[in-house]
């Protein structure tokens, strides 16, 4: 009896936390593209726009070479389109970290990398989800891969610090 009462109390205590979590998937439209890997999504079912960081890629900073082109590439992919957001986590900046798909199921992050608008972003010596797309873009010299001096954003930030606040 005491055990079941304790279990019920734990379930009730956990219920508000479970309700407060963001959905693992959502539909919406891009409200604003910040840069080549971050945008604001207005959920289809209403509510406040959510800041989303695309998972598995790293795009040039706006203040570095290829930054404006990378943002323009993402803008072109999301403009006036219904988007499907598959949320993986929330990062230290409060952004949702997610994969982004169009209505046909095309992975837009993969497309950015395949077109040379961003780099595949591995994690802890893992190759990352778009390693093959990046190899293809490099082989064809597409986008930022046409520029031998193009710096991965991580290296750019290490050398120059972050861009000015936007």
Q: Give the C-alpha separation, 62 to 71, whole Å.
A: 8
> Binning pLDDT at 50, 70 and 90, where does residue 4 land?
very low
The answer to whether the pTM exceeds 0.85 is no
Q: Is residue 58 over pLDDT 70?
A: yes
Phi, psi of 55 (to 5 degrees): -80, 140
Percentage, residues of the chain above pLDDT 70 = 85
| Backbone region of residue 47 per phi and psi (left: phi > 0; alpha: psi in -120 to 50; beta: other values) | left
Q: What is the pLDDT of residues 87-103, one digit of tens each?
A: 999 999 999 999 999 99
The Cα angle at residue 44 between residues 38 and 55, in degrees rounded to 5: 25
Map out the domains of the chain with their CATH numbers. 23-160 (2.40.50.90)
Radius of gyration of the chain (CA): 19
Six-digit token string for 28: 């919406």
Mean pLDDT score, 59-73: 96
């Amino acid at each position: 009896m005491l055990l079941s009462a304790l279990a019920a109390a734990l379930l009730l205590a956990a219920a508000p936390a479970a309700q407060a979590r963001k959905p693992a998937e959502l539909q919406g439209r891009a409200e604003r593209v910040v840069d080549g890997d971050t945008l604001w999504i207005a959920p289809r079912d209403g509510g406040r726009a959510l800041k989303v960081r695309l998972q598995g890629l790293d795009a040039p900073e706006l203040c570095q070479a290829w930054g404006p082109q990378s943002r323009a590439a993402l803008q072109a992919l999301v403009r006036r389109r219904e988007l499907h957001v598959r949320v993986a986590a929330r990062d230290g900046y409060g952004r949702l970290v997610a994969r982004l798909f169009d209505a046909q199921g095309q992975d837009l992050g993969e497309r950015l990398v395949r077109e040379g608008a961003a780099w595949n972003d591995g994690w802890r010596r893992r190759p990352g989800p778009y390693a093959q797309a990046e190899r293809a873009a490099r082989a064809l010299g597409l986008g930022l891969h046409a520029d031998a001096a193009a710096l991965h954003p991580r290296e750019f930030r290490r050398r120059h610090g972050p861009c000015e606040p936007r």
